[in-house]
Amino acid sequence: MRAAVRVSAGMQPHDYERALGVLERCAAIDSVEGLQEELLEALASAYGCVHTAFFRTDVFTRTHADPAPVMTGRIPRIIDEYRDRWFADDVMFTPASLDRIRRAGVSALSQLEPRRVPPAARAYVDRFVFRSGLRSVCALDLDLPGGQRGVVGIFGETPDHLTAADLRGLAIVVRQLSAVSARLPARVARSAATVGDLSPRLAEIADLVGRGLSNAAIARATGLTLDTVKKYISQVLDRTGCRNRTELALLVAGR
């Protein structure tokens, strides 16, 4: 991925290192499900993005249609309100934002001129985003297999959570990663892995299962939605070759 990265004005060496760090974290991904998990972990590590969601959808503006996005931080607590009340007015779906998505694969509230934000989208920002204790919004648009979109929502607790240089770096991430993500299978056959082979997030889930926690308890302990916990447990079972939670608990106990 390094060879194709182009120089972007306004970026310093450490800005490139951040973007390349994300790409390197995702370099060995071999499925879309793995990408969802690893990309959010990488964004948290490189850019401090802790309130995120990765949606799989047929169209960028249909994030509400994904029944089980992978989410972190505060997003699991507000996703139902987003689906029920606000998705149609999402500020990332305004014409000015979509123009940025088409050109760079990245759009952020900080890049939009206030006068070009329609009243309904302004209400989304004021009455949903800000009321939820969040102060910045950014979206990434990735190519997925079969023409699907991988839409990553990033929310920050300060207006300047992502700087202009960060957004340029994320544009590099989207451009480079899309070349790979568009060719990923949804699932792959793999040899059984040990708990030590799992990513940090999946290893955490495996450990909690091994300690006898229910899905609901794991969701509370990790801040994930119940659907995301179920998805992660399915990934752990698939990657370790365990047929059920009991076998996984035994594997964890004997590692």
pLDDT, tens digit (0-9, with 9 covering 90-100), for 56-107 = 999 999 999 888 888 888 998 899 899 999 999 999 999 999 999 999 999 9
Nearest to 87 by CA among 62, 69, 104, 112: 62
How open is the CA angle 159-162-165, to the nearest 5 degrees? 135
Given a cut of 50, whether residue 122 has pLDDT beyond it is yes
What's the CA gap between 74 and 91, in Å, rounded? Answer: 18
What's the CA gap between 136 and 98, in Å, rounded? Answer: 17
Extract the runs of DSSP E, i.e. beta strands, from the chain.
51-57, 70-71, 106-108, 136-143, 149-156
Q: What are phi and psi of 146, to 5 degrees?
A: 70, 20
pLDDT, tens digit (0-9, with 9 covering 90-100), for 182-241 = 998 855 555 566 777 788 888 899 999 999 898 999 999 998 888 888 888 988 888 888
Task: List domains and CATH numbers for the chain.
Answer: 8-181 (3.30.450.80), 195-253 (1.10.10.10)
- Would you say the C-alpha torsion 230, 235, 238, 242 has a positive or negative sign? negative
Beta carbons within 8 Å of 42's beta carbon, 6+ residues apart: 21, 22, 25, 26
Read off the pLDDT of each residue in 46-62 and give the average, rounded to a whole number: 95
**Distance from chain centroid for Cα 96:** 23
Tell me how long the chain is: 255
Rg (CA), the chain: 18
Look up residue 4 and give its two tokens: 């194709």
Q: How many CB atoms lie under 10 A from the CB of residue 247? A: 13
| Greater pLDDT, 244 or 118 | 118
Question: Which pLDDT does position 1 carry in this prediction?
Answer: 41
Amino acid type, 33: E
pTM: 0.76
Question: Which pLDDT does position 2 carry in this prediction?
Answer: 37
Q: How many CB atoms lie under 10 A from the CB of residue 249? A: 17
